[in-house]
Amino acid sequence: MKITDLRCAVIGKHPIVRIVTDEGLHGLGEVEYTKPYLKPWVLHFREALIGEDPTDVERVMLKIRQRGSFKPYGAAVSAIEHALWDIAGKAAGVPAYKLLGGKVRDKVRVYNGSIRRKRTGDRPQDYAADVKWMMEQPQNFFMIKQGISFHSNMKDTIDGFHYGVTQNKAGYHGAMDQGVISERGFNHMLDCVIAMKEVLGDKVSLALDCGPGWMLPDAIKFARAVEKYNLMWLEDMLTGDYVPWVNPQAYRELTTSTSTPIHTGEQIYLRHNFKELIETQAVRVIGP
């Protein structure tokens, strides 16, 4: 079997990758929504794929895997890998997971990271109402992840939230809001956590998506302040998301300063770049 074409269509804002073969089979891959601009990135790899056998997934990937990088550049390469596995599964007449070691469990826990309605505001009562609505959703989530700080509008809507420069948005992740968080901003976040925990109790767990952009002292202070609330994790406080570096040494200092689990990883491409983060236990939770 040979690859005859690589196509990419933007549906909604998702770039959808389609790999076409000379035997009528095709494979589909999908990039996360909010990245319509990745279409030319995906198509850049077309010439490298034509003529290859898509069922030799690793052989094909060796031609292009090196050209991914920190988020978002790895996404274009990874979506192509998804489409290759899709073809390999179809060609073998089995679900793709059978080619990846087979099934280990029959169900997985999922937390709410994306079912949202517009929040009424960024005050503690708004956050409380928001998680109340979420915990009443039919999926019966065991955990809710909520954005605060630089990963939320409160950095703009809460007066004097931080001392950094507010970036004019360019329509895509590119600028990072960052800086020292004021005492008022700090207390505001804490009030939001308390308000959410009053609603959630110990029935539904809470995790916070926090940045990136915190200064290390603020991160340490906040992680300690919320210890009694048993959060599942604090995500991307220092680096993460679209940041093209990891700084695992700083994460290690944060992690060892607190019992609150610290989390990062979604900006990282390839296991090579997770190496130090894992080996030094710089974070407690990896979110690839």
Q: How far is the CB of 37 from its own copies (least distance, A)?
A: 6
- Residue 266 binds its own copies (CB under 8 A): no
Q: Which is nearer to its own copies, 44 or 82 (CB)?
A: 44
Q: How far is the CB of 247 from its own copies (least distance, A)?
A: 6
- Residue 62 binds its own copies (CB under 8 A): yes
Q: Which is nearer to its own copies, 29 or 89 (CB)?
A: 29
- Residue 242 binds its own copies (CB under 8 A): yes
Only segment of 87-95, 103-111, 226-234, 236-244 that touches its own copies (CB under 8 A): 236-244
Only segment of 10-18, 27-35, 62-70, 93-101 that touches its own copies (CB under 8 A): 62-70
Q: Which is nearer to its own copies, 68 or 147 (CB)?
A: 68
Q: Which is nearer to its own copies, 260 or 267 (CB)?
A: 267
Residue 265: name the closest of 2, 66, 74, 20 by CA: 74
The answer to whether 26 touches 18, Cβ cutoff 8 Å, is: yes
Q: Which is nearer to its own copies, 122 or 177 (CB)?
A: 177
Only segment of 79-87, 90-98, 194-202, 242-250 that touches its own copies (CB under 8 A): 242-250
Instruction: Give the residue, chosen from 243, 254, 277, 282, that forms a contact with its own copies under the rule CB under 8 A.
Output: 243
SS (H, E, C) the chain: CCEEEEEEEEECCEEEEEEEECCCCEEEEECCCCCHHHHHHHHCCHHHHCCCCCCCHHHHHHHHHHHCCCCCHHHHHHHHHHHHHHHHHHHHCCCHHHHHCCCCCCCCCCCECCCCCCCCCCCHHHHHHHHHHHHCCCCCCCEEEEECHHHCCHHHHCCCCECCCCCCCCCCECECCCCCECHHHHHHHHHHHHHHHHHHCCCCEEEEECCCCCCHHHHHHHHHHCHHHCCCCEECCCCCCCCCCCCHHHHHHHHHCCCCCEEECCCCCCHHHCHHHHHCCCCCEECC
For its own copies, how many residues bind (rule: CB under 8 A)? 39
- Residue 165 binds its own copies (CB under 8 A): yes
* Contact pattern from residue 187 through residue 206 relative to its own copies, giving x for each residue in contact according to CB under 8 A and a dash for the rest: --------------------
The answer to whether 131 touches 146, Cβ cutoff 8 Å, is: yes
Residues near its own copies (CB under 8 A) are 37, 40, 44-45, 47-48, 59, 62-64, 66-70, 73-74, 165, 167-168, 170-176, 242-245, 247, 249, 269-270, 272-273, 275-276
